Amino acid sequence: MLPKPLVAASLRPIILTLLARQPMYGYEIIQQVHTLSEGQIRWTPGKLYPLLHSHENTGLIEAFWQPSEEGPDRKYYRLTPRGQAALQQEKQSWLDLNALLVRLWGPEL
Amino acid sequence: METPFNLATALATWRQFQARRQPMLEEDLDELEVHLRAHLSDLRRQGWGEEAAFREAVRALGDLEEAEAEYSRVYWGKLRRRQQLLTELQWRLSMFSNYVKIALRDLRRHKGYSFITIAGLSLGMACCLLLFQYVAFETSFDQFNTKKDRLYRATFEYTRGEGMEGISSSSVLAFGPIVAQEVPGIVRYTRILPTYGGVVLSNQGASETRTFTENHALFVDTTFFSMFDYPLVKGDRSQVLSNPHTMLISESMARKYFGDQEPLGKTLELSWWESGTYTIAGVMEDVPPTSHLRFDFLFPLSDLLDNEAFLADGGSWGPES
């Protein structure tokens, strides 16, 4: 399991990246992250949903309800153009950070 | 005894419990419930029992007490977003008045075309309404009779030698009693004889004599009022036609002959095949325009059946119902 602060910090880039690929609903996001992180990250709905709503408020993502075969309608989220731009910035920040760490831990220093 | 686990009830109870959390909107609960259901069906697919799966799914939702704080952080933003939706709606509404303005301007610019389209449409609608009116009127005929499903009018097809065939909307007086006797399904019959050519009526003896030729007078059997629902204003339905030389008169005709005076008990002089003094035993409401029988006066048919002059003249060839 990853330490909590790191999980919290990575929420935003992961969500934006996932939604940039395709619209998803909450449960699906949690499952995907769990699988892709090989069990390292398991978000709780109580954390994820308010965050999604906050992104919705700031206009990074937008929600729409869609019927499902399994029961009640699902609330799907997708990225807005503004979210796209935010994702690019986020990506750059993480790459910069990553580059710094690599350099720090690398043999050349 | 422990009640068996019911998923729908459990979900409803869970939701009701969460609904007390103030910053959670209805749609947030919807979202959480869908989440719960999705997890639940995944667990079921893995072989979990229904109740165990439900407990596990609820547990995996995490501490919603804690989540409540997160939800309240985004609560006002959500409300603001809804406010935006409201302003959007208001804007659209205001646009509507703009559309009307543009439409009016367009109408003014293309007067000729506007006239043709509007006039054409109005004419079409007017025709349509008129047609509906007409059909409604036509189909409403005789609907006021409560026994309308059991009432039949006897018609008459005849052959008088070669090439002398025809159909008549009426039959003969003798038909009623005979067919009522012979055919078991017939409960009652009444014969209705119109007075072709009109009868002459006059209110002799009154201060001012009024004499008219009336075209809407019928001679009918005593059973008439037990078959039809034409309402009486005065007089007893079961009695009015049973005495000879009594008659019924419609409200408007009563006014015509007697003015504002009480018509009941007054007399009119009849001159037709049957003549004599007739006492008014009842007053009828005017027959509605949707009745196929039209009459202002009713006389007892029995008076006419005693009239040899009438019978000798082939008068028995009258219609009946």
* Strand, coil or helix: B212: strand
pLDDT of A68-89, one tens digit each?
887 788 999 999 999 999 999 9
Which residues of chain B make contact with A64, given a CB cutoff of 8 A? none
pLDDT of A46-63, one tens digit each?
889 999 999 998 889 999
pLDDT band per the 50, 70, 90 thresholds, residue A93: very high
Cβ-based contacts under 8 A for chains A and B: 76
Does A20 reach chain B within 8 Å, measured CB to CB? Answer: no
The pTM score is 0.49
Q: Quote the pLDDT of residue B2.
A: 60
Which of B135-149, B198-212, B300-314 is least confident? B300-314
Does B28 reach chain A within 8 Å, measured CB to CB? Answer: yes
Distance set, CA B32 to CA A9, A18, B68 (Å): 23, 20, 13
Do the Cβ atoms of A27 and B35 come within 8 Å? yes
What 8-state DSSP symbol labels residue B231? P
- Pairing of the two strands A24-25 and A71-79: antiparallel
- Of A51, A38, A42, A46, nearest to A12 by C-alpha is A51
- Whether B219 and B193 have beta carbons less than 8 Å apart is answered as yes
Q: Quote the pLDDT of residue B313.
A: 58
- Whether B210 and B242 have beta carbons less than 8 Å apart is answered as no
Distance set, CA B282 to CA B146, B188, B241, B247 (Å): 21, 22, 9, 7
Do the Cβ atoms of A47 and B67 come within 8 Å? yes
Could you tell me the sign of the dihedral formed by the alpha carbons of B237, B239, B244, B246, in that order? negative
Does A106 reach chain B within 8 Å, measured CB to CB? Answer: no
Does B80 reach chain A within 8 Å, measured CB to CB? Answer: yes
Q: Residue B242 is encoded by which pair of tokens?
A: 């049973």
Which residues of chain B make contact with A44, given a CB cutoff of 8 A? 60-63, 67
